Amino acid sequence: GNSVTQMEGPVTLSEEAFLTINCTYTATGYPSLFWYVQYPGEGLQLLLKATKADDKGSNKGFEATYRKETTSFHLEKGSVQVSDSAVYFCALSDTGGGNKLTFGTGTQLKVEL
Amino acid sequence: ETGVTQTPRHLVMGMTNKKSLKCEQHLGHNAMYWYKQSAKKPLELMFVYSLEERVENNSVPSRFSPECPNSSHLFLHLHTLQPEDSALYLCASSQLTGLDTGELFFGEGSRLTVL
């Protein structure tokens, strides 16, 4: 079946540092890939997505590229802010439709001044 | 209100209690979902309702019973739960069009503690 593997957290960075959160996946077919973010006390919200190989999703300074050859979708940001502190979830879609997503465990990011 | 609203936000119950979690979406979506979020584990998809019909039931124990009376409301009825059922239960909605975007809209969750 489908699965998503994320790096374990927490990841602690200083403000303006470079961020990478690794994500690899196992899936049949050609799923779409997503990053969701969960700020403290809130529900998950879509951060960015990519629907086919070599696509790059981007939003709020975050980027991730769909790498089919390495089955990866790593999240990056050039300069993090304290307000980016949250839990980040990598996910893929079931190719059977229905918006049924398989999520990873989530990676907590803490950004300090 | 806008978005997806879940009540209660926190619930503590004994193993013999019966309680319900409620979810309401104000987005006009036609699909609703229950996910379970436990520490250090991936989010687990429990149930999916499309146009008020249950289309997914991922081997969830019968002590969890979903109900979708209309496209805006989703319930999760709980009875004779176990301590390992303690988790954050997330409700989500989406609009299924045949060209699904994978975008789910989540509520803030109901934190359940089973004593």
Name which of A89-103, B3-17, B26-40, B57-71 the model is least confident about.
Answer: A89-103
What is the predicted pLDDT for the residue at B1? 54
pLDDT higher than threshold 70 for residue B91: yes
Q: Is the distance from CB of B93 to CB of B33 less than 8 angstroms?
A: yes
- Whose tokens are 């951060």? That residue is A47
pLDDT digits (tens, 9 = 90+) for A32-41: 999 999 999 8
Chain A nearest C-alpha distance from B82 (Å): 22
DSSP state of A41: T
B15 against A105, higher pLDDT: A105
SS3 A9: coil
Chain A nearest C-alpha distance from B103 (Å): 7
What is the predicted pLDDT for the residue at A56? 97
Whether residue B101 and residue A99 make contact (CB cut-off 8 A), yes or no, is yes
B82 against A97, higher pLDDT: B82
Whether residue B56 and residue A98 make contact (CB cut-off 8 A), yes or no, is yes
SS3 B105: strand
pLDDT higher than threshold 90 for residue B103: no
Number of helical (H) and strand (E) elements in chain B, helices listed first: 0, 11
Mutation target vs B (from A100, A103, A105; most B CBs, 10 A cutoff): A100
Select the residue of B35, B42, B104 nearest A104 (Cβ to Cβ).
B42
A-B Cβ pairs (cutoff 8 Å, strict): 68
Whether residue B4 and residue A43 make contact (CB cut-off 8 A), yes or no, is yes
Chain B nearest C-alpha distance from A99 (Å): 5
pLDDT higher than threshold 80 for residue B101: no
Q: Given strand A62-65, what is the order of strands in its sheet? A: A19-21, A75-77, A62-65, A56-59
pLDDT band for position B81 (cuts 50, 70, 90): very high
Rounded to an integer, what distance in angstroms lies between the CA atom of residue A69 and that of residue A65? Answer: 12
- Read off the pLDDT of each residue in A47-76 and give the average, rounded to a whole number: 95
Q: Which amino acid is at A38?
A: Q
β-partners of residue B56 are B48
DSSP state of A96: T
B50 touches chain A (CB under 8 A): yes
Select the residue of A44, A49, A99 nearest B31 (Cβ to Cβ).
A99
Distance of CA B85 to the CA centre of its chain: 13
Rounded to an integer, what distance in angstroms lies between the CA atom of residue A36 and that of residue B12? Answer: 28
What is the predicted pLDDT for the residue at B2? 65
Rounded to an integer, what distance in angstroms lies between the CA atom of residue A97 and that of residue A53? Answer: 18
| Residues of chain A found within 8 Å of residue B108, distances taken between Cβ atoms | 41-43
pLDDT digits (tens, 9 = 90+) for B13-65: 988 889 999 999 999 999 999 999 998 888 999 999 987 777 777 789 999 99
Joined tokens for residue B40: 């250090």
SS3 A6: strand
Q: Write the CB contacts of B68 (distance below 8 Å, at least 6 apart in sequence).
A: B32, B49, B52, B53, B54, B74, B75
